[in-house]
Structure 1
Amino acid sequence: MSVKFTLDAKDIELLEPKLQRISDQSEKVLNEILHEFGLETVMSRITDLIPVSNIDKKHAKSSNPLRNITFNLGFEVLPKKPYAYLVFPDKALGTSQGNAAKEFMVQGLESSTNLIMDKINEEIDKLIKEEF
């Protein structure tokens, strides 16, 4: 169970006029925004959506349960090994069968996408203004 954020061809096409103006910095800038702001935003949103059971124990929600893998123009967020059980409430499997799937991984990613794209546009606009 994981979610991936990547800039696809459509995203790049929409950003292309701006990226051309900072061409020598564009890939570096995009990766910095994605690997810092993007990851932080997505991981925070996913964690906020993780359900807490009634069982008296240390819960994933308050335990920094996620890890990430970064790659060029994207990243992947997945649970750390001790929290692999999060797949059950996320997908309504195993002991969560019969319950509605929580889908907190996908919802966390989807609720972050516009924020990430806004941040990319904002940071690129700043760089363009600095050049002129």
Structure 2
Amino acid sequence: MRAQVEFNDVMALEEKIRMLPNRAEKAINSVLHTRGIEIATREMTNLLPVSRVSNKKHAKESKWSTSEIANLEFVVKSKGGAANKKGSFGYLVFPDEGRGPSNPWAQHFSDRSLQKSAPKILAELDDALQELIEEGL
């Protein structure tokens, strides 16, 4: 999935990164691996559909995701795997892709949440880099 962001926002971020050789990468990873994951997960959770089955625990009301981190990136994915595994929220792929008999259309909540979370994450990155720049003055 790709997020569309404003060119000027990216250019401003790039300029701050240039001003912080050997320090920007650590700050970016710190933001992405904490606030970035929090923001992306919150935006996805806000868009998750709630099953009409009332006696079931809904992903929207629980810790439905796990995350993986790497240098300058993170991945958020649903817990478990198969939807029939206890405690698994693997069924979340179906409303996103529009597969399954109970959901004949794609909702693309992952893509839509990425569009909402990307500017917020970029703002967090900008703030963290600005703070480093001000510390160096």
Asked if Structure 1 and Structure 2 have the same fold, meaning a TM-score greater than 0.5 normalized by the shorter chain, the answer is yes
The structural deviation recorded for 1:97 is 4.2
Could you tell me whether the CA contact under 8 Å between 1:88 and 1:96 is conserved in 2? no
> What whole-Å deviation, never above 9, does each CA across 1:89-121 have from its counterpart, x for those lacking one?
1111012342x3121111112210001111111
Runs of 4+ in 1 over 4 A off after TM superposition: 11-14
> What whole-Å deviation, never above 9, does each CA across 1:29-60 have from its counterpart, x for those lacking one?
00001111110000011011101121121111
Give the structure 1 partner of residue 85 of structure 2: none
2-structure distance, mates of 1:4, 1:44:
18
Larger mean CA deviation between 105-114 and 35-44 belongs to 105-114
Give the structure 2 partner of residue 17 of structure 1: 15
* Matched AA of 1:78: K
Give the structure 1 partner of residue 51 of structure 2: 53
Supply the RMSD in Å over aligned alpha carbons.
Answer: 2.1
Identity of aligned residues (%): 35
Give the structure 1 partner of residue 26 of structure 2: 28
1-structure distance, mates of 2:62, 2:131:
36
So what's the TM-score if we normalise by structure 2?
Answer: 0.81
2-structure distance, mates of 1:127, 1:60:
37
* Matched AA of 1:47: T
* Counterpart check, 1:128 vs 2:133: yes
Query: Which runs of no fewer than 5 residues in structure 1 stay unpaired?
Result: 6-10
> Which protein has the bigger helix share?
1
Give the structure 2 partner of residue 118 of structure 1: 123
The structural deviation recorded for 1:17 is 2.3
Aligned length: 125
Query: Which runs of no fewer than 5 residues in structure 2 stay unpaired?
Result: 4-8, 81-87
